[in-house]
């Protein structure tokens, strides 16, 4: 069976050579094809070196981004393209790309996420001429980022389950969440994963005089929490479907599922935390002038009104009208949220939080 003849060996070797050659050419063909594909994209990009294009990196909702950007295109004639990722993913990507930045502006997401990547040297400070129109609390002291919306923290309450299983008034203070009847029914994200959840954790440190008291509160809250989600907006949606009775999320993330028809109510507690939604310019991005034009435009009242109407978030600009159903910031009882402290202590708090509760 295994007798080897010169003929067969030669045949097999020839066969192998032929096959090798065949496959090699096919392989090269495919990868040449792939490069040609890519080459096309690169050439297109190079044609547009003049600043009539803008690449937007944004964690906002796609629908909002595309409506806002098409308005920007109409008003300025600058073509736009965007990529949507969660704020954390976006930040990781901007840092990883810093050798050769792919985006021009980082549009939206909590200021803390913008703040976190300043030390990496990936953002460029820019003081917009419109910055003076908004309160100085709403931008970075050196203008690494500028805020264009403000969102208070809220409780999303599943009305069906609340009425049939708990009853009475909806929770309106942080202490209300500690009710033993809510065991396993209060959902929040993990501060290690989500800016929303870190905001909740940090709020407790501003509410109490000592850190021990804050940790004590978080430990009690942990008893009512079945687990911690990875996405900051997820708890509101899970309360919507009845997985839990109460979900903690920013008010605008609660308004969305309410709009979609879920049986939810929004309650903004006393001493609520709040976020500033920021826009920043990516250092070394391909279209620096268009990036500045965009920041100037979005900080203006018309663009902010459009954003507020689309997203139900509260604008930082004094001339913008409140979204329907939203309470003006001045009428809310907000905690005295110290962004500098929150940024500086983030890794320490999150590490300890991980140790205690994960």
Partner 1 sequence: MPTRSIERDGGRRPSQLLSPFKDPTTITAIIIVVVPILIIVLYPAASVILRPAAADWNTFFTRPRYLGVLRNSLTISALSTVSATTIGFCFAYALSRPNFPGKFFFRITSILPLVSPPFVAGLALILLLGRRGIITHSILGLDISMYGWHGLWLAQTFAYYPIAAMTLSGVLKSLNPTLEYAAQDLGQSRWGIFRTVVLPMSVPGIASAALLVLMLSLSDFGNPMVIGGPFRVMAVEAYMQVVGMQNLGMGAVVSVMLLLPSLAFFLLQRYYVGRRQYTSVTGKGGRLDPMPIPPAAKWILFAVLTAISLFVVAIFVVIVWGAFARTWGFDWSLTFRNFEFTLLARLGHIWNSVRFSLMAGIGTAIFSVIAAYVLYRRQFTGKRAFDFLVVLPAALPGTLVGIAFIFAFNRPPLLLTGTATIIVLSMAVRNVPIGYRTALSGLHQIDKSIEESAADGGANTFQILKDITLPLLKTAFTVTLVYTFIRSMNTVSAVVFLVSAGTNVATTSILGLAEHGYWGEAAAMATILIAITSSVVILFRLIGGKRLFEL
Binders of partner 1 among 268-327, rule CB under 8 A? Answer: none
Cβ 60 to partner 1 shortest distance, Å: 9
From 68, 84, 139, 246, residue interacting with partner 1 (rule: CB under 8 A) = 84
Q: Angle formed by the axes of helices 62-76 and 288-298, to 10°? A: 110
From 68, 72, 78, 91, residue interacting with partner 1 (rule: CB under 8 A) = 91
Asked if 328 contacts 308 with a C-beta cutoff of 8 angstroms, the reply is: no
* Residues between 132 and 161 that touch partner 1 (CB under 8 A): none
To which residue do tokens 């939206």 refer? Answer: 108
Site string for partner 1, 55-74 (x = CB under 8 A): xx----xxx--x--------
Comparison of 135 and 227: residue with beta carbon closer to partner 1: 227
Candidate segments 92-100, 166-174, 272-280, 335-343, binder of partner 1 by CB under 8 A: 92-100
Comparison of 236 and 306: residue with beta carbon closer to partner 1: 236
From 178, 193, 265, 329, residue interacting with partner 1 (rule: CB under 8 A) = 193
From 4, 74, 318, 324, residue interacting with partner 1 (rule: CB under 8 A) = 4
How far is residue 44's CA from residue 262's CA, in Å, rounded to a whole number?
Answer: 44
Distance of CA 230 to the CA centre of its chain: 12
Q: Is 86 in the site for partner 1 (CB under 8 A)?
A: yes
How far is residue 155's CA from residue 268's CA, in Å, rounded to a whole number?
Answer: 6
Asked if 72 contacts 100 with a C-beta cutoff of 8 angstroms, the reply is: no
How far is residue 88's CA from residue 125's CA, in Å, rounded to a whole number?
Answer: 20
Q: Is 237 in the site for partner 1 (CB under 8 A)?
A: yes
Cβ 155 to partner 1 shortest distance, Å: 16
- Smallest Cα–Cα separation from 214: which of 173, 261, 174, 156? 174
Q: Is 263 in the site for partner 1 (CB under 8 A)?
A: yes
* Residues between 16 and 55 that touch partner 1 (CB under 8 A): 16-21, 23-24, 26-27, 30-31, 33-35, 37-38, 41-42, 44-45, 55
Structure tokens at 225: 């929490």
Q: Which long-range contacts (CB under 8 A, 24 or more apart) does 296-299 make?
A: 296/128, 296/129, 296/130, 297/72, 297/75, 297/76, 298/68, 298/72, 298/107, 298/148, 299/128, 299/130, 299/131, 299/133, 299/134, 299/146, 299/148
Q: Which residues contact 39 (CB under 8 A, 6 or more apart)?
A: none
Asked if 353 contacts 191 with a C-beta cutoff of 8 angstroms, the reply is: yes
Cβ 297 to partner 1 shortest distance, Å: 18
Q: Is 168 in the site for partner 1 (CB under 8 A)?
A: no
* Residues between 208 and 227 that touch partner 1 (CB under 8 A): 226-227
From 202, 203, 215, 253, residue interacting with partner 1 (rule: CB under 8 A) = 253
Q: Is 5 in the site for partner 1 (CB under 8 A)?
A: yes
Candidate segments 15-23, 144-152, 200-208, 322-330, binder of partner 1 by CB under 8 A: 15-23
Asked if 89 contacts 332 with a C-beta cutoff of 8 angstroms, the reply is: no
Candidate segments 93-101, 146-154, 298-306, 332-340, binder of partner 1 by CB under 8 A: 93-101
Count residues contacting partner 1 (CB under 8 A)? 90
Candidate segments 89-97, 137-145, 202-210, 318-326, binder of partner 1 by CB under 8 A: 89-97
């Amino acid at each position: 069976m295994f007798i080897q003849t010169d003929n067969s060996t030669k045949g097999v070797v020839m066969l192998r050579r032929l096959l090798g050659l065949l496959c090699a050419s096919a392989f090269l063909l495919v990868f040449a094809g792939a490069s040609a594909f890519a080459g096309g994209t690169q050439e297109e990009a190079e044609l547009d070196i003049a600043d009539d294009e803008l690449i937007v990196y944004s964690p906002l909702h796609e629908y909002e981004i595309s409506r806002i950007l098409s308005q920007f295109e109409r008003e300025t004639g600058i073509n736009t393209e965007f990529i949507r990722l969660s704020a954390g993913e976006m930040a990781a990507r901007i840092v990883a790309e810093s050798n050769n930045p792919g985006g021009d502006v980082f549009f939206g997401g909590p200021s803390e996420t913008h703040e976190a990547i300043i030390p990496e040297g990936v953002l460029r400070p820019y003081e917009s001429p419109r910055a003076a129109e908004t309160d100085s609390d709403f931008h970075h002291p050196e203008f690494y980022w500028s805020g264009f919306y403000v969102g208070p923290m809220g409780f999303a309450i599943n009305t069906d389950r609340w009425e049939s299983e708990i009853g009475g008034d909806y929770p309106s203070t942080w202490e209300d969440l500690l009710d033993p009847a809510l065991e396993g029914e209060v959902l929040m994200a993990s501060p290690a994963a989500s800016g929303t959840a870190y905001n909740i954790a940090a709020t407790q440190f501003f509410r109490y005089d000592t850190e021990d008291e804050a940790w004590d509160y978080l430990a009690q809250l942990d008893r009512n929490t079945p687990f911690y989600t990875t996405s900051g907006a997820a708890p509101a949606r899970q309360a919507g479907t009845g997985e839990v009775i109460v979900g903690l999320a920013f008010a605008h993330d609660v308004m969305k599922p309410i709009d979609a028809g879920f049986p939810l109510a929004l309650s903004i507690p006393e001493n609520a935390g709040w976020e500033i939604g920021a826009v920043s310019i990516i250092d070394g991005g391909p279209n620096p002038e268009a990036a500045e034009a965009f920041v100037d435009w979005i900080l203006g009242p018309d663009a902010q009104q459009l954003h507020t109407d689309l997203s139900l978030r509260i604008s930082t600009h004094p001339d913008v009208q409140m979204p329907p159903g939203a309470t003006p910031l001045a009428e809310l009882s907000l905690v005295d949220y110290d962004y500098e402290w929150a940024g500086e202590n983030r890794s320490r708090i999150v590490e300890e939080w991980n140790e205690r509760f994960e």
